[in-house]
Structure formats: C-alpha cells, structure tokens
C-alpha cells in the first residue's frame, strides 16, 4: 500500500479500488428520458408505494442498495461501511432508507456533489485497507426537493428557463479492494480523486443553480489537472453532475480562460438525463440522484463496453438552505472530481 | 502503514494519529457552566456580532477553526482537508463558516454524533497517509437549533424535564500523522475507532432525545468492546455525547443487560456542561457542539494533565428532521466511538 497524496487537493491510488456493482432506481420521468434503458428500475408511483415523497425517497434508497448488493453477489455482512447522503434536511432520505441494513453509516452532505464525496471516501477507505467492500449511495426526489427548497408542487409556480429539474433517482455503488491476486480488470477503477473547496462567486438565485456551481466545478477540474499533471485531452469524457445548459456554458468559458478547452470532452448528466424538447425540463436535471444514476446506468455501461477508457466524473453541488437563502445569503458551490478508468480487454 | 480492519465495525491504527491542536468557542451560558474555564473563547452576544443566529453559528465555526490553526503553529495551507458538519438544514453553519478558508471540504451529517464521525474520518485519512494534517470541526447553536427543530424562542413554550438544551459551541481539532521520527508523545492519540449503525427503537418524542440515542450508544460501545477485545475497566472514562440524565440511565441499563457495567466509568458531556440546579437545563446539554467543546476543552485537558490515560469518546446523534417528525416517523439514533489515549510522560 503506497497511496500518494498529490498536489494540493488530490490523492492517487496505488491499488485503485474498483466498482464491482452498481444500481440505479429512478422515477417515471427519468425512465422516459434518453437514458431510460440504462436504469435498473423505473417506478411509476412518485411515492414508491409509501405514504409520502420523503418515505418514497427512502424506499428508493433501500431498493438501490438492495439491488447493488444482490448484483455484487456479496453477502450483506461483507460490506463494512455505507457512505450515504441526500438533499433533505438532516438526511432523512438516507437515514430511513438505510436503517434496516445493519451496516455502519457515515452520513454525508455536499448538496448534489454528494455522489462524488461518497465515492471519494469509499475509495479512500478501501484503498487504505480499512475494508474490503464498502457501499456509496445518494438520492434525490423531485417532489421532496421542490417542497423543501422552492415551492410545493401544488402551488404550480412558473419556473424560469435557468431552473433545473430535480431528478427522482438513487444510485448505489459497491467499491472494493484490489490487490495482486485479484486485479479485477473487468471493473471500472477509481484511480485518483480531487476534493473540492467551497467556492462562492456571490450568486443569489436559487433558480439558476448552474451559475452557482460552475465556478466550483471549474476550480476542482483545474486543480485536478494541476495536481495530477494531466490535461483535458487525456480524458474521453469530462462529466459534470448537474450544471445544466446554463452552468455548462459558464464552466467551459471559465476553464478556457485558465488554459483548458474542455468543450470537446464535456458532458453534463443534467443535460443528458432528460429530453428538454419533449419533457420541458428547462436547464436540465439536478439533484444528488442525477449524477448518481447517470454514473450507475449510462457512464459505467459505456466504460464496460470500452466506448470510453478514462473519464473525469465531477458531481457538483449548490450549498443553500431555505434559511440561508431567505436570510439573503449567497449560494456557494462545491464539486468533487474522480478519475474513473476501464482497462482494455486485451492485456 | 499496516492499519487493521478489526471485527465488524472497527479500525485499529498502527501509527495512531494525534490531535496536535484543538479549540473551543462557546456562548455565554456554556461559559457560565462548570466547564467554563476550559474553553478558549466565551462570546456573550448570541449572534456572535452577526445579523442572525445562523450567521452567528458560522462566525463561531470560523473562530474555532482559526484558533485551532493558530494554536497548532501550522500554516493554513498545510491542512489538506476539513471534515465538518452541524445540525442546520444543508449544513449552512459549516458552509458559511468555512467558505473563506480555501481548504477542501468533506461535509458530514450524523446529527449530534458528527464530532465522532468527523474525527473518525480525519483519523482514517491521516493514518492512511493521504494527508499530514487535516481538520475536524462541528458546531451547534441554541437559537438556530430550537427554531429549526422545535419552536422559535419567542414562542416561549414549556419544556418537559426530559428535554435537552442545545449547546451553543464549536469545537475544532487538527489531526496529524505520526511516524517513527516524530512520535509526538505529548499529544492525545486516536488509537482505534468503531463506527455506528442507525439504530431504531421506535421512540417518537423529540423532547426526549436521550431515549432515542441511548440504544445506538449501547450498540456501538458493545461492538467496540467486542471488536477490540476490550472491556469497560480498561478505560478511565467512557464519555457519551449528549444522552443527558434520562438517556445515560438507559445506556447503563442496556449495557448491564449485555454484560458490561460502565456505571463507574461513564460520563456524559451533556450532563457535565451545565449546572442544572442553577441553569435550569433539565436533562442536560445536546447538539453537535456539546461533545466537541467538551472534548476540545475539558477532556483533552485531563488527558494532557495525565489525569486520564485512556478514554472512549462516543458522540451520540438523534436522526430526525421536522419533516420526518411531523410525518409521524420514529427518531432513530446513531453513535460513533473513538479510543483516545495519552502516553505517560515517563518513557
């Protein structure tokens, strides 16, 4: 074991952990979107058979975790820790979704960047030898998030074109150790991570979160390139979480100003998950579930099919609460980057 | 580096990380309590010179982090990561308190157990060689927490005797690597950790959180003893976070039923931080800040003075939000345990 702390904000793994199993559970609208065929489960009931959106989100988390464990073929007690989080106050989606699993929990909050945070800590934990297998899970729910952060759906307010649409979805991943005896070349490997800082450009519009998050995404991608001595052309895709159309344009401009042109490699999960023409989702999808289900469904599929060999996965988060927002505070952003690679079949 | 994953939920550190610096910033009432003389800063303005309780909490976090860094003698850029969290929705106390530090952040939520969660991840990170120094910080604020979780203070509601009083306080810790060349025997060492599960005994009373958290505390302490092959008599103190009087009695009974009598070693930060006779705080203190400032002030003082050699520090959390509570859900608990030791002066 000789993991390297590299540069200001990054870690390079000597024995990169692998994602041996992943699961995505989504709502009806996500199932009808362009990525619908990549998801494990599509549920047409917004409450997932429960009494409320919040309990529905917990049920979605429970299903994603169960499915990931089943697909891995591992017994549940072989998973030492769960790293999990969601958007709701005090992480109730996660708490009530996980309470029957009997696995130690590290609760996380990084707004919609939480998928990156959870996978980073999961990779750090297994690469250090603290556990053979851990699980990372994140979720969001359109009804619960709109009710909490903006307006209850019943109010029927108008949404500006810069607004994003919270994804109803949960993505779960089992991250496992590799060593000499079991290289596990068939699985995607997390080879490095760059952890982001809180970046505040003074944006105050909760209906334009792409603009809040783009500076944080630019900051962590720039630092990742610097720390790891890499550049944009070494990646097949550079995939942000939920900047949407508005935020993606800002990101590309900010990085171009700093010497990196990612316009050819860039893709945003929020832009890809819906068909805005038909689904009227404005700037695109958002939420902890957006990047999580896109990774679990579409991205890992393309890696395993060898369409992509190396991607930079950068979930992005807008750090606001209704309290801070109503008290006139800014909305800072945060983003975390992971280098995910797939070895080619031929040795 | 040969850290051991031991038992179901624990890690033993081969080169235990040390707490090289700590700081505690509290409100007036905590300053007037029995531990007042141990705190670094006592602020008489509940808003800490800001416009709101929430911004006051952020200012308190900023001061705790600044003080811990100053006391360590380290340059700020030698601290690679911050592990931080608080009780407010979407961690706004932490976000706005840390946004000017320019240090990568892992945001955490484990209710009042977050101090244990942050120190556990901090210790795991430095013991694995990912960073030389990291910082862990947690906070809570009486005004902000009551407004969010129960009733606004202006309402002047009556509180039952089982209710706890949220501590206004923030504790910050710098956790650093040790190795052969710099054993740093003068500092308290985190030698092992046990990470807790969500434990739900079906309690539904948000004004009796001790009863919600005691089963989780009993669960993690029991598992710690089993995983590490230790027993209660090997500790000078077994210190829970904020069970209060009511929860402490339940904890002692639950562990006695399972073969461990911790009644002689047990101490609860929530019971110790106020003088209930004079301060009318009912069951005791609670909140992320409660265990954090007690550790940063009182506990580390006693370790460094060699009054105690080995303690088990177990911050405890009640996993509720107003949404889950008002929708009739239970209040599950979680707790995380750390073994903290001080070497004696004589070699």
Please give the distance of CA A69 from its chain centroid, rounded to a whole number: 19
Residue B57: C-alpha distances to residues A221, B67, B101, B112 (Å): 31, 15, 16, 15
CA distance from start to end of chain B: 23
**Whole-number Å distance between alpha carbons of B326 and B305:** 47
A179 at interface of B, judged by CB pairs closer than 8 A = no
- Which residue's entry shows tokens 């003082």? B301
- Top residue of B104, B140, B177 to mutate, by most chain A CBs within 10 Å, is B104
Q: Would the pLDDT of B346 be above 60?
A: no
Candidate from A101, A102, A319 with C-beta closest to B90 = A319
Give the pLDDT score at B162.
Answer: 87
pLDDT tens by residue, B32-89? 999 999 999 999 999 999 999 999 999 999 999 999 999 999 999 999 999 999 999 9
Using the beta-carbon criterion (under 8 Å), do A107 and B106 form an inter-chain contact?
no
- Residue B241, φ and ψ in degrees, nearest 5: -75, -65
| pLDDT value of residue A155 | 82
Helix axes A142-149, A53-72, angle to 10 degrees: 140
Residue A85 touches chain B, beta carbons under 8 Å: yes
Determine the pLDDT at residue B182. 62
Task: Quickly tell me which residue has 């820790």 as its tokens.
Answer: A81
CB-CB contact of B209 with B247 (8 Å): yes
The 10s digit of each residue's pLDDT in B87-115 is 999 999 999 999 999 999 999 999 999 99
A236: pLDDT strictly greater than 50: yes
Asked if residue B235 has pLDDT above 60, the reply is yes
Helices within A204-305 (DSSP H only): 209-228, 244-257, 269-272, 276-279, 288-294, 300-304
Q: How far apart are CA B217 and CA A191, in angstroms?
A: 36
pLDDT band at B1 (very low <50, low <70, confident <90, very high): very low
CA A1 to chain centre: 27
pLDDT at A1: 43
DSSP code of A84? Answer: E
Structure tokens at A204: 């105050």
Confidence tier at A162 by pLDDT (50, 70, 90): confident
Distances (CA, A) of A109 to A185, A219, B100, B120, B129: 32, 19, 19, 16, 24
Helix runs in B36-169, H state only: 53-72, 92-98, 114-127, 142-149
Reported as a single tens digit per residue, the pLDDT across A283-303 is 899 999 999 999 999 999 999
Nearest to B332 among A95, A103, A132 (CB): A95
Of B108, B128, B198, the CB nearest to A124: B128
- CA-closest candidate to residue A121, choices B11, B135, B125: B125
Q: Taking a C-beta distance cutoff of 8 angstroms, is the pair A150, A206 a contact?
A: yes
Strand B81-86 relative to strand B133-140, pairing: parallel
Residues of chain A with C-beta less than 8 angstroms from the C-beta of B332: 95-96, 99
Determine the 3-state secondary structure of B51 from DSSP: coil
Domains and CATH numbers, chain A: 4-176 (3.40.47.40), 189-341 (3.40.47.40)
Residue range B250-269, pLDDT digits in tens: 999 999 999 999 999 999 99
Question: pLDDT band at residue B338, thresholds of 50, 70 and 90?
Answer: very high
Distances (CA, A) of A44 to A148, B3, B34: 22, 46, 57
Once rounded to an integer, what is the mean pLDDT over residues A263-277?
Answer: 96
What is the DSSP secondary structure assignment for residue B37, as one 8-state letter? G
Min Cα separation A307/chain B (Å) = 32
**Nearest CA of chain B to the CA of A275: how many Å?**
29
Q: Which of A110-114, B179-183, B184-188 has the lowest mean pLDDT?
A: B179-183
Which chain B residues are Cβ-neighbours of A198 within 8 angstroms?
95, 98-99, 105
Cβ pair B89:A92 closer than 8 A:
no
Return the pLDDT at B345: 65
Tell me what percent of the residues of chain A surpass a pLDDT of 70: 97
Confidence at A180, pLDDT banded by 50, 70, 90? low
**Minimum-distance CB partner of B103 among A124, A197, A323:** A197
User: What chain A residue is nearest to B110 in terms of C-alpha separation?
Assistant: A107
Q: Which residue of B has its CA nearest to A112?
A: B90
Facing residue for A81 by CB, picked from B102, B195, B322: B195
pLDDT confidence tier of residue B124, bands split at 50, 70 and 90: very high
- C-alpha angle with apex A124: A118 to A125, nearest 5 degrees? 90
Of the listed ranges A120-124, A159-163, A256-260, the least confidently predicted one is: A159-163
Tell me the residues of chain A between 308 and 347 that have a Cβ less than 8 Å away from chain B: 319-324, 327, 329, 332, 334
CB contact under 8 A, B321 and A103: no
Q: How confident is the model at residue A181 (pLDDT cuts 50, 70, 90)?
A: low
CB contact under 8 A, A321 and B85: no
**Going along chain B, which residue ranges are E strands?**
4-6, 10-12, 18-27, 41-43, 81-86, 105-107, 133-140, 165-166, 169-176, 189-194, 237-240, 266-268, 285-286, 310-314, 316-318, 333-335, 337-341
Question: Strand B333-335 to strand B316-318: parallel, antiparallel, or no bridges (unpaired)?
Answer: antiparallel
Query: Is A109 within 8 Å of B104 when comparing Cβ atoms?
Result: no
* Kind plus residue range of the DSSP H or E element containing A285: strand A285-286
What's the half-sphere exposure (Cβ side, CA atoms, 13 Å) at B204?
A: 9
Residue whose pair of structure tokens reads 């090289």 in the numeric block: B20
Close Cβ partners of A205 (under 8 Å, ≥ 6 residues apart): A162, A211, A212, A331
| DSSP track, A85-105 | EESSGGGHHHHHHHTTS---E
What are B267-311's pLDDT values in tens digits? 999 999 999 889 999 889 999 999 999 999 999 999 999 999 999
Residues 6+ apart with CB under 8 A from B102: A197, B76
pLDDT, tens digit (0-9, with 9 covering 90-100), for A81-92? 999 999 999 999
Given pLDDT bands bounded at 50, 70 and 90, which one contains residue A197? very high
| Residues in chain B closer than 8 A to A324 (CB atoms) | 54, 90, 92, 95-96
pLDDT band for A117, please (50, 70, 90 cuts).
very high
**What is chain B's mean pLDDT, rounded?**
94
Of A197, A320, A322, the CB nearest to B104: A197
> Residue B108 and residue A111: Cβ atoms within 8 Å?
no
Q: Distance from A257 to chain B by nearest Cα, in Å?
A: 21
State pLDDT tens for residues B74-94: 999 999 999 999 999 999 999
Q: How many CB pairs under 8 A join A and B?
A: 181
Residues A8-54: tens digit of each pLDDT: 999 999 999 999 999 999 999 999 999 999 999 999 999 999 999 99
Apex CA B108: angle with CA B146 and CA B36, to 5°?
Answer: 55
Share of chain B above pLDDT 70, in %: 97
Mutate to test the interface with A, among B3, B90, B137 (most CBs of A within 10 A): B90
Comparing CB atoms, the residue among A148, A196, A324 nearest residue B96 is: A324
A324, A329, A338: best to mutate for the B interface, most B CBs within 10 A: A324
Prediction pTM value: 0.97
Contacts of B246 (CB under 8 A, 6+ apart): B162, B208, B210, B211, B283
């Amino acid at each position: 074991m000789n993991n390297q702390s590299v540069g200001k904000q990054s870690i390079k793994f000597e024995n990169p952990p692998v994602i041996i199993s992943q699961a995505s559970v989504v709502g009806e609208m996500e199932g009808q979107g362009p990525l619908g065929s990549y998801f494990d489960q599509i549920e047409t009931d917004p409450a997932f058979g429960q009494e409320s959106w919040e309990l529905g989100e917990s049920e979605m988390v429970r299903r994603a975790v169960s499915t990931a464990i089943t697909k891995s073929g591992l017994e549940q007690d072989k998973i030492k820790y769960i790293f999990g989080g969601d958007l709701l106050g005090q992480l109730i989606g996660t708490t009530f979704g996980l309470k029957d699993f009997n696995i130690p929990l590290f609760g996380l909050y990084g707004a919609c960047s939480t998928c990156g945070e959870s996978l980073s800590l999961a990779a750090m934990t297994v690469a250090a030898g603290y556990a053979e297998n851990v699980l990372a899970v994140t979720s969001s729910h359109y009804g619960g998030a709109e009710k909490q952060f903006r307006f209850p759906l019943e109010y029927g307010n108008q949404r500006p074109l810069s607004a994003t649409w919270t994804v109803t979805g949960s993505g779960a991943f089992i991250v496992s150790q590799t060593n000499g005896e079991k290289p596990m070349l068939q699985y995607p490997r997390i080879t490095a991570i760059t952890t982001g800082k809180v970046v505040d450009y003074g944006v105050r519009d909760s209906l334009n979160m792409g603009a809040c998050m783009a500076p944080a995404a630019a900051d962590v991608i720039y630092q990742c390139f610097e720390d790891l001595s890499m550049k944009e052309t070494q990646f097949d895709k550079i995939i942000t979480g939920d900047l949407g159309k508005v935020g993606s344009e800002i990101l590309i401009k900010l990085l171009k100003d700093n010497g990196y042109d990612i316009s050819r490699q860039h893709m945003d999960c929020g832009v890809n998950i819906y068909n805005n023409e038909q689904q009227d989702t404005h700037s695109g999808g958002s939420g902890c579930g957006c990047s999580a289900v896109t990774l679990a469904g579409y991205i890992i599929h393309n890696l395993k099919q060898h369409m992509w060999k190396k991607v930079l996965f950068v979930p992005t988060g807008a750090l606001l609460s209704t309290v801070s927002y109503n008290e006139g505070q800014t909305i800072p952003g945060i983003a975390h980057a992971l280098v995910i690679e797939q070895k080619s079949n031929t040795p």
